Chain A
């Protein structure tokens, strides 16, 4: 198995632009998580899905952030419009019910 796949690995954009981050979870995993990590705040859970349904989005910082999971093998995290304070590493993770969680390599986002 290739593990959790994220793209792009690095993204540099200008303030106000739309940013879309992509994630392919491990096949058979029914939970998918989006995290953000910064030096100041550490690792923050943004949203998670169970069987493609959003369960808890209380960590999404504001309405500029949205996430979708149209099927079991794909999820997106979109920021529109992006701001410099959104600069961070965004991780996607997946797991089967009750078992360990596996992380993707992350997308390093820089908003200028």
Chain B
């Protein structure tokens, strides 16, 4: 059974730092992995999608990597800003027609 874990549950860093959020999954047979952002009281916004054949995806200051063999993905945020404060969730899709398996999220606070 696929399980997705995100550690730490919360992270607080000063503005301007580069940081890494971690996501691990127990079964390496995945179709893709998706990172989302959720602001308090709001819906989820898709940040990056990595297909199983890809190693990384980049969007602006965000870079997501995927290492299927070790069951890990990381979300790298460069030059963090207070506006990056949110909860970040990763989710794994075991196959193309299956639903996402969710991590519990990392709550990120960027201090001005």
Number of A interface residues in the complex (CB < 8 A): 20
Contact B89 A100, beta carbon cutoff 8 Å: no
Q: With an 8 A cutoff between CB atoms, is B45 at the interface?
A: yes
* B102 touching A103, Cβ below 8 Å: no
Contact A103 B49 (CB under 8 A): no
Q: What distance in Å separates the Cβ of A54 from its nearest Cβ neighbour in chain B?
A: 12
Please measure, in the bound complex, the distance between the C-alpha atom of A30 and the C-alpha atom of B15, giving whole angstroms.
Answer: 41
Tell me, yes or no, whether B44 is within 8 Å of chain A by CB.
yes
Q: Which residue of A lies closest to B31 (CB)?
A: A98
How far is A99 from B46 in the complex, measured between Cα atoms in Å? 11
A38 within 8 A of B: no
B43 & A97 in contact (Cβ 8 Å cutoff): no
Q: Total A-B residue pairs with C-beta atoms closer than 8 Å?
A: 41
When the two chains form the complex, which single residue of B41, B43, B89, B99 contacts A45, counting CB atoms closer than 8 Å?
A: B99
- Judged by a CB distance under 8 angstroms, whether A106 is at the interface is yes
Complexed CA–CA distance, A65 and B82 (Å): 39
Interface flags for A31-58 (1: CB within 8 Å of B; 0: not) read: 0010000000011010010100000100
Contacts of B97 on A, CB cut-off 8 Å? 50, 97
**Measured CA separation A56–B44 after assembly (Å):** 22
CA A108 – CA B43 in complex, angstroms? 11
Residues B1-50 near A (CB distance < 8 A): 31-32, 34, 36, 41-46, 49
Question: Is A100 a contact of B42 with CB atoms below 8 Å?
Answer: no
A91 contacts B102, C-beta separation under 8 Å: no
A45-B99, A56-B99, A98-B31 known; A103+B89 contact, CB < 8 A: no
Instruction: Please list the residues of chain B having a beta carbon within 8 angstroms of any beta carbon in chain A.
Output: 31-32, 34, 36, 41-46, 49, 89, 91, 96-97, 99-100, 102, 104-105
Residue contacts A-B, CB under 8 angstroms, 5 given: A42-B104, A91-B44, A97-B96, A100-B32, A102-B46
Given contacts A56-B99, A101-B100, 10 further A-B contacts (CB under 8 A): A42-B102, A43-B89, A48-B99, A50-B97, A98-B32, A100-B46, A100-B49, A102-B46, A103-B43, A104-B43
